[in-house]
Chains A and B, each alone.
Chain A
Amino acid sequence: MKRRQRLVYASYAALVVILAFVAARCAPSAPKSARQRAGATSDAAVAAQKVYVAPGDLDEYYMFASGGHSGNVYVYGVPSMRHIVTIPVFTPYPATGYGFDDDTKAMLGNLTWGDVHHPSLSETNGDYDGRWLFVNEINGRIARIDLRDFKTKEILGPLPNVSGNHASSFVTPNTEYTFMATRFSIPIPKGTVAPIDKYATEYKGVIAGIKIDPKTGHMTPAYEILMPPFDYDLGDAGKKVSDGWMFFTMYNSERATGKLEVTASQRDRDYIAAIDWRAAEKAAAEGKGEMIGGIKVIDPKKVPGLVYFMPCGKSPHGVDVSPDGKWIIGSGKLQGVTTAFNFEKIQTAIRNKDFTGDEDGIPVLKYESVKEAEVPVGLGPLHTQFGPDGYAYTSLFVDSAIAKWKLGTWEVVDKVPMSYSIGHLSAAEGDTAHPQGKYLVGLNKLSHGRHLSVGPSQPESSQLVDISEEKMKLLADAFTEPEPHYAQIVKADKLHPIEVYPKEENKHPLAIWDVKDAGVTRQGNKVIVKAVEVRSTITPTSVEVNEGDIVTFALTNIEQTTDELHGFGLLDYNINVVVDPGETKTVTLKADKHGVFPYYCTNFCSALHQEMQGYFIVKPKS
């Protein structure tokens, strides 16, 4: 009897133990995948070796990262991920006096911001040639940065009819053209009003071809192509076999309005537009198209053969052409596959008129006829870059990872987690005819918890990944200025920047090279102050004008020594200019306040920098 009693108690105790054991399986504090994520990080010692650039040593690559709505371009060194310099483009930047002097102020126009998205290094035969960097901006503009001095030299636009220039700037393989495209279709020309319920018929998108002068880089609008009211999103130029073609993705082929996150996500496939830009060039040369908003707009309905739509699921974001030009990779952000289109098949389908319909007269190619493969890369595929060995790398926003897969076999071979929510990615020369491999940078949208806390306005994170081996390995985290969209990584030895502006190249009419020539000249109420800046004096050291005068300071930094910048800050007049060695800049103001106003060198230059100052005396009207 005793034994049975014991048995009962023992079984009870066992039950309690089981219960306690089960209870221990409560809500977990970390997911099972945490270990797998840790495994994708390179061994600390190996990673440190790979990213360490010793003091005084130089990085192997430049990375030009777009700064999003900061309006700037940021230059980083790879692999150190050190931020080297900021190139102001669409917004004033007091650090270099950008947007304060007459030339840059005029270049910015009335806009003091821009949303910079896609840097595009100039190319020769599909490879970066290190001459210029083009960047687009949402207000219908493209800027050209000269890589000889890392300065913004030209801003084209806002271009007529282009509304929301997101799908830009993407140069062709020999920098013949750069492009703009509409993201937010509107009735054109700008200024036209049509009710929103006429969106499907009276709102229009355009894709604009902009000719680039091969010698100077100067941009000239060449033509626009009238497009259905879709939201044109990204683009890439064909290369090698597909040279002569441009590809643009688009969402909202539903032609929907209102709550687009739902209404524009209904169709299983939207489109990639294939544009025969040489045919467009020819049509423009023949004078085809009609003037809208002051520019020739070609309607592809009237000029067949210019544009074809390739169906691509679903709400495609990135479109990227493989190094050999054979594969057009489109990534539907709302699905789990990336689609590879075969350029040859596209040409065959066009020849055979293998169409399933049209959109406003633009033929739609049969999906099955042009698609080569659907690659199961993962959730939320956005953009693809390439390696030198036939591998492709696709960013996965939803999965927060990069998938590595093989062109041709369409096999996904590896994945590396990103922290967090990767947008674009940039492999070393990874969008050219000859990708370098080695490094890849994931440009992530979220960084929370990966850095010292800085309050609610968190930086974006960019992560350096080693792609030199079969398995991708995370090497380093960097925190980049808001907000990196696309970036391009170019071998440092392709760029040959100058370090001072040679005196003999300075053709500025108001440049002077001797303090004896400094002084004030007057014509009516127009006053010109020719000034010399050299360690450690701004000559003249005082300037007298009358209230109401229009005063132009022409500042020449006569130094020819590297890094000897001089500034010109004028108090109470909101003037701040920085002049590089050998450079002349002008700044014009109306002397509408009388009094005595100090000016001084803002950019620390020498032991007697503090003494580099003078007075601007504005005599009151009697």
Chain B
Amino acid sequence: MRSWIEKSQRFLEIPLGVGSRALVLAALVLLLPCYLFPLYDMTMFAPQYPDGLRLHIYSYRLEGGNRGQDVKEINVLNHYIGMKDLSAADFTEFHWIPFVVGALALLLLRSAALGTMTSLVDIVVLYAYFSLFSLWSFAHKLYVYGHNLAPTAAVKVPPFTPPLVGSKQLANFEVYSFPGPASYALAAVALVLAGSVLLAWRESRIQVRDSRAAA
């Protein structure tokens, strides 16, 4: 137990070298797509919609394909089964995701400047929490939309959950759901941060070995 605490203490005292700090800055750059590209893309094909109805979910807004018309079309179709209209007001994520990503960016800058393992570990923990919570939140949203159907709907369908990743047949629609470029960039952020930690750790190991060899 004691040795474990000492070990982790030593780990947390590892300084971040130039390479690790560069990776932290790279992670910072990889947060940018979050403001530029969709986090999620949903595409719904039906015989009547051979080109598909497209829904692009950004970190801060909902965008329909066909110059926004697709969101309206999806809402028109969903009203038959008594589904609530998709509206930006329902997505609290649009407020807090940009905020959290901004905060993460500042923390990354801080970590790059301080060059301490503790600051980096803080970010990794926060980042993991943020990613998992966002995923759960999104999945929950899908569940709620598909299960909160008006009992007076003209067409009664059994409650459903649209696919989180992959495709699913819902009535006459083939629904495809895939992470968008921003999500992939966020996944890359996680990899780069892990790389940064790994690099710092390896450098410290080499240093220890070299100093031992010198001794």
Q: Which residues in A have some Cβ–Cβ distance to B below 8 Å?
A: 5, 8, 12, 15-16, 19, 22-23, 25-34, 37, 261-262, 265-266, 334, 379-380, 398-401, 417-421, 446, 449
Contacting residues, chain A, for B187 (C-beta < 8 A): 19
Q: Which of A8, A266, A398, A421 contacts B152 (CB 8 A)?
A: A266
CA A400 to CA B155, docked complex, whole Å: 17
CA A315 to CA B195, docked complex, whole Å: 62
Contacting residues, chain B, for A449 (C-beta < 8 A): 50-51
CA A398 to CA B153, docked complex, whole Å: 16
Contacting residues, chain B, for A398 (C-beta < 8 A): 171-172
Contacting residues, chain B, for A19 (C-beta < 8 A): 184, 187-188, 191
Contacting residues, chain A, for B188 (C-beta < 8 A): 19
Residue of B nearest to A450 (CB): B50
CA A334 to CA B194, docked complex, whole Å: 53
CA A379 to CA B48, docked complex, whole Å: 13
Contacting residues, chain B, for A417 (C-beta < 8 A): 47
Q: Which of A27, A261, A379, A446 contacts B171 (CB 8 A)?
A: A379
Let me know if B48 and A26 touch, CB within 8 A: no
> Which residues between 159 and 190 of chain B lie within 8 Å of chain A, taking CB atoms?
167, 171-172, 174, 176, 178-181, 184, 187-188
> Which residues between 136 and 159 of chain B lie within 8 Å of chain A, taking CB atoms?
152-155
Extra pairs beyond A16-B191, A265-B154 (5, CB < 8 Å):
A23-B184, A26-B181, A30-B45, A400-B48, A419-B50
Residue of B nearest to A266 (CB): B152
Given contacts A26-B180, A265-B154, contact A15 B47 (CB under 8 A): no
Let me know if A421 and B43 touch, CB within 8 A: no
Let me know if B172 and A25 touch, CB within 8 A: no
Q: Which of B48, B51, B167, B198 contacts A8 (CB 8 A)?
A: B198
Contacting residues, chain B, for A34 (C-beta < 8 A): 50
> Mostly helix, strand, loop or mixed at chain A's interface?
loop
Q: Which of B43, B152, B184 contacts A27 (CB 8 A)?
A: B43
Let me know if B171 and A31 touch, CB within 8 A: no
Please list 15 pairs of residues, one from A and one from B, whose beta carbons are closer than 8 Å in the complex, sorted by A's number: A15-B191, A19-B184, A23-B184, A26-B178, A27-B41, A27-B42, A27-B43, A27-B54, A27-B180, A28-B52, A30-B50, A33-B45, A34-B50, A399-B172, A420-B47
Contact mask B44-80 → A, CB, 8 Å, 1/0?
0111101110100000000000000000000000001
Contacting residues, chain B, for A261 (C-beta < 8 A): 80, 154
Which 9 residue pairs are nearest across A and B when measured between Cβ atoms?
A: A400-B47, A31-B45, A265-B154, A27-B41, A420-B48, A31-B174, A27-B43, A23-B184, A398-B172
Given contacts A31-B52, A401-B47, contact A262 B172 (CB under 8 A): no
Q: Which of B43, B47, B179, B195 contacts A419 (CB 8 A)?
A: B47
CA A55 to CA B181, docked complex, whole Å: 56
Residue of A nearest to B167 (CB): A32
Contacting residues, chain B, for A33 (C-beta < 8 A): 45, 174
Residue of A nearest to B209 (CB): A1
CB distance from A8 to the nearest CB of B (A): 7
Centre residue among A5, A22, A34 by max chain B CB count within 10 A:
A22
CA A287 to CA B212, docked complex, whole Å: 120
Contacting residues, chain B, for A421 (C-beta < 8 A): 47-48
Let me know if A28 and B191 touch, CB within 8 A: no
Let me know if B191 and A334 touch, CB within 8 A: no
CB distance from B25 to the nearest CB of A (A): 18
Centre residue among A31, A32, A266 by max chain B CB count within 10 A:
A31
CB distance from B151 to the nearest CB of A (A): 9
> Mostly helix, strand, loop or mixed at chain B's interface?
mixed
CB distance from A36 to the nearest CB of B (A): 11
Contacting residues, chain B, for A16 (C-beta < 8 A): 191
Let me know if A262 and B50 touch, CB within 8 A: no
Q: Which of A23, A30, A37 contacts B47 (CB 8 A)?
A: A37
Contact mask B70-106 → A, CB, 8 Å, 1/0?
0000000000100000000000000000000000000
Contacting residues, chain B, for A446 (C-beta < 8 A): 48
Let me know if A22 and B184 touch, CB within 8 A: yes
CA A5 to CA B43, docked complex, whole Å: 42
Contacting residues, chain B, for A419 (C-beta < 8 A): 47, 50
Contact mask B111-123 → A, CB, 8 Å, 1/0?
0000000000000
Residue of A nearest to B169 (CB): A33
Centre residue among B46, B167, B202 by max chain A CB count within 10 A:
B46
Q: Which of B46, B51, B54, B167 contacts A400 (CB 8 A)?
A: B46
Contacting residues, chain A, for B152 (C-beta < 8 A): 262, 266
CB distance from B21 to the nearest CB of A (A): 18
CA A183 to CA B40, docked complex, whole Å: 46
Q: Which of B47, B178, B195, B202 contacts A12 (CB 8 A)?
A: B195
Q: Which of A25, A334, A400, A401 contacts B178 (CB 8 A)?
A: A25
Given contacts A19-B188, A261-B154, contact A28 B176 (CB under 8 A): yes
Contacting residues, chain A, for B46 (C-beta < 8 A): 400
Contacting residues, chain B, for A418 (C-beta < 8 A): 47
CB distance from A51 to the nearest CB of B (A): 22
CA A265 to CA B155, docked complex, whole Å: 8
CA A418 to CA B172, docked complex, whole Å: 13
Contacting residues, chain B, for A32 (C-beta < 8 A): 167, 174
Let me know if A399 and B54 touch, CB within 8 A: no
Let me know if A400 and B184 touch, CB within 8 A: no
Residue of A nearest to B183 (CB): A23
CA A25 to CA B152, docked complex, whole Å: 38
CA A196 to CA B172, docked complex, whole Å: 36
CA A334 to CA B184, docked complex, whole Å: 41
Centre residue among A5, A26, A418 by max chain B CB count within 10 A:
A26
Given contacts A27-B43, A398-B171, contact A334 B180 (CB under 8 A): no
Residue of B nearest to A23 (CB): B184
Contacting residues, chain A, for B80 (C-beta < 8 A): 261
Centre residue among B48, B174, B188, B191 by max chain A CB count within 10 A:
B48
Given contacts A265-B154, A265-B155, A334-B154, contact A27 B191 (CB under 8 A): no
Given contacts A398-B171, A400-B48, A420-B48, contact A334 B54 (CB under 8 A): no
CA A264 to CA B41, docked complex, whole Å: 36
Let me know if B178 and A27 touch, CB within 8 A: yes
Q: Which of B47, B154, B174, B191 contacts A399 (CB 8 A)?
A: B47
Residue of A nearest to B41 (CB): A27
Contacting residues, chain B, for A380 (C-beta < 8 A): 172
CA A12 to CA B54, docked complex, whole Å: 34
Contacting residues, chain A, for B43 (C-beta < 8 A): 27-28
CA A22 to CA B174, docked complex, whole Å: 20
Centre residue among B43, B54, B167, B202 by max chain A CB count within 10 A:
B43
CA A394 to CA B141, docked complex, whole Å: 37
Residue of B nearest to A4 (CB): B202
Residue of A nearest to B150 (CB): A262
CB distance from A105 to the nearest CB of B (A): 42
Contacting residues, chain A, for B51 (C-beta < 8 A): 449
Given contacts A400-B47, A420-B48, contact A379 B172 (CB under 8 A): yes
CA A26 to CA B167, docked complex, whole Å: 11
